[in-house]
């Protein structure tokens, strides 16, 4: 941290970059001349920005960008509130610059910062950070669910950075800058990288499909429903991150009808088995032609059902797809991220019902789990975590 700040001595701060370029045009004549379509396309994805400052952190209620990296850190023994405050001042400064397309102070690869591509950086504090600061944690580790097969390499964490953008190079550069500035204060515990549909492939705010081909997030709160479900009065919220491995090869041998019964939705349209359109409310009293419930009691949709809008959770998942093993078997699944006011009141009851009686558990395995309190945002003169650590 100190060495980077020394780069500013004598007013040598890097404030921004100008990008120059040129294009070579081949001269052709007659009907061989290409139509100048590409020149008319406006390139806006790379320059798009999401405001960093505000009473709430960005990267939560906005339409999720295509790429994400979740980076968790472990604090060293002896970390105290003063050191944590220094760390968060530095990381906040980095994030406020990078999200607006401005290089971080002392950025040695500043050309990689000029296309933010809707970059957001969201900070979460784990229980260990609060204890290091001498405070009672507002979040606690999840209870053990019988379906869990958790691995330490994907679980826990004292500090989380959720880095999202529509360009993977932007995510990679931001991750490198932030890890570099966190090094004096904490060590990397785990990194999980995920993806969604790229910009332009589907309309904005489309429902995510996971690697099992199913829509994921149809029942999310939308519009005015987000307020009571996600945000506390001070602008804070809480985050659950779960790494869920998909047992794809056994899923692949199922018939389409079996897949749909396990989930409770049509594979093609995402409609509940009791309806015809994705947004149709599931009718849990409806019977099918055989006299059985159209929405099976063991289906994922039935078990995850929430009737009180304030008790919903905001799912913000990303797919992951690692390298297959030597035998060619896939390593794929979901980085499940959910935001809610209160994990214990909202997330835990849903997950307990799913763990008890969800047929989809035959084809998914939770292998990582972590919880974080997400502090409020900040204004231009403040820093993330100021209410907790100042």
* Domain assignment present for 310: yes
Of 3, 4, 1, 2, the closest CA to residue 110 belongs to: 4
Per-residue pLDDT, averaged over 280-302, amounts to 96
* Domain assignment present for 9: no
Find the domain containing 140 and state its range: 49-389
Does the structure show a pLDDT above 80 at 99? yes
User: Residue 196: how many CA atoms within 13 Å on its side-chain side?
Assistant: 28
Q: What are the structure tokens assigned to 149, written together?
A: 């097969």
Looking at 107, 166, 181, 216, which residue is catalytic? 216
> For residue range 179-235, what is the model confidence (pLDDT) as tens digits?
999 999 999 999 999 999 999 898 877 899 999 999 999 999 999 999 999 999 999
Per-residue pLDDT, averaged over 16-42, amounts to 47
* Domain assignment present for 15: no
CB under 8 Å to 368, separation ≥6 — which residues?
150, 151, 153, 154, 155, 190, 192, 241, 242, 243
Q: What are the structure tokens assigned to 94, written together?
A: 């980095």
Q: What are the structure tokens assigned to 112, written together?
A: 């990689």
Name the CA dihedral angle for 148, 152, 155, 158, rounded to a multiple of 10 degrees.
Answer: 150
Domain count, the chain: 1
Return the pLDDT at 342.
98
Per-residue pLDDT, averaged over 275-282, amounts to 96
61 vs 66: CA distance, rounded Å: 15
173 vs 189: CA distance, rounded Å: 19
53 phi and psi angles, rounded to 5 deg: -80, 150
Q: Residues for the chain: how many in total?
A: 390
> For residue range 235-266, what is the model confidence (pLDDT) as tens digits?
999 999 999 999 999 999 999 999 999 999 99
* Domain assignment present for 193: yes
278 vs 206: CA distance, rounded Å: 11
> For residue range 151-192, what is the model confidence (pLDDT) as tens digits?
999 999 999 999 999 999 999 999 999 999 999 999 999 999
Q: What are the structure tokens assigned to 365, written together?
A: 């395995």
The whole-chain average pLDDT of the chain stands at 91
193 vs 322: CA distance, rounded Å: 9
* Domain assignment present for 254: yes
Return the pLDDT at 35.
54
Residues 48/117, Cβ–Cβ less than 8 Å = yes
**Residue 93 annotated among the catalytic residues of the structure:** no
Of 259, 231, 235, 263, the closest CA to residue 354 belongs to: 263
Is the pTM of the predicted complex or chain greater than 0.85? yes
* Domain assignment present for 19: no
Return the pLDDT at 206.
85
Residues 221/229, Cβ–Cβ less than 8 Å = yes
Of 131, 346, 135, the closest CA to residue 237 belongs to: 346
220 vs 216: CA distance, rounded Å: 9
* Domain assignment present for 17: no
Helix (H) and strand (E) counts in the chain: 10, 11
* Domain assignment present for 136: yes
Q: Taking each helix axis as running N to C, give the angle between helix 81-98 and helix 168-182, from 0 to 180 degrees, rounded to the nearest 10.
A: 150
């Amino acid at each position: 941290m100190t060495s980077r700040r020394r780069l500013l001595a004598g007013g040598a701060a890097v404030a921004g970059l100008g990008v120059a370029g040129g294009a070579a045009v081949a001269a052709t004549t007659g009907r061989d001349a290409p139509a100048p379509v590409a020149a008319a396309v406006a390139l806006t994805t790379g320059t798009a920005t999401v405001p960093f400052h505000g009473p709430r952190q960005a990267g939560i209620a906005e339409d999720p960008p295509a790429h994400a990296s979740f980076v968790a850190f472990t604090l060293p023994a002896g970390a105290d509130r003063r050191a944590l405050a220094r760390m968060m001042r530095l990381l906040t400064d980095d994030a406020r610059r990078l999200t607006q397309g401005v290089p971080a102070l002392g950025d040695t690869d500043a050309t990689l910062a000029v296309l933010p591509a809707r970059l957001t950086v969201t900070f979460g504090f784990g229980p260990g950070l609060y204890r290091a600061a001498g405070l009672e944690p507002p979040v606690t580790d999840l209870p053990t669910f019988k379906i869990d097969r958790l691995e330490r390499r994907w679980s826990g964490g004292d500090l989380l950075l959720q880095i999202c953008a529509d360009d993977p190079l932007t995510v990679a550069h931001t991750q490198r800058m932030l890890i570099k500035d966190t090094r004096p204060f904490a060590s990397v515990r785990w990194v999980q990288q995920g993806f969604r549909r790229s910009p332009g492939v589907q309309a904005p705010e489309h429902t995510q499909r996971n690697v099992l081909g199913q829509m994921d997030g149809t029942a999310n709160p939308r519009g005015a429903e987000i307020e009571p479900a996600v945000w506390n009065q001070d602008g804070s919220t809480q985050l659950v991150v779960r790494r869920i491995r998909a047992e794809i090869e056994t899923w692949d041998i199922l018939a389409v009808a079996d897949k749909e019964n396990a989930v409770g939705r049509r594979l093609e349209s995402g409609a509940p088995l009791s309806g015809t359109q994705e947004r149709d409310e599931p009718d849990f009293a409806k019977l099918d032609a055989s006299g059985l419930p159209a929405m099976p009691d063991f289906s994922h949709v039935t078990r995850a059902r929430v009737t009180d809008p304030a008790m919903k959770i905001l799912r913000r998942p990303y797919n992951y797809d690692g390298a297959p093993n030597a035998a060619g078997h896939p390593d794929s699944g979901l980085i499940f991220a959910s935001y809610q006011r209160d994990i214990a009141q909202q997330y835990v009851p849903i997950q307990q019902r799913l763990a008890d009686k969800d047929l989809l558990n035959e084809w998914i395995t939770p292998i990582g789990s972590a919880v974080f309190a997400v502090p409020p945002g900040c204004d231009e003169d403040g820093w993330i975590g100021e209410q907790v650590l100042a």
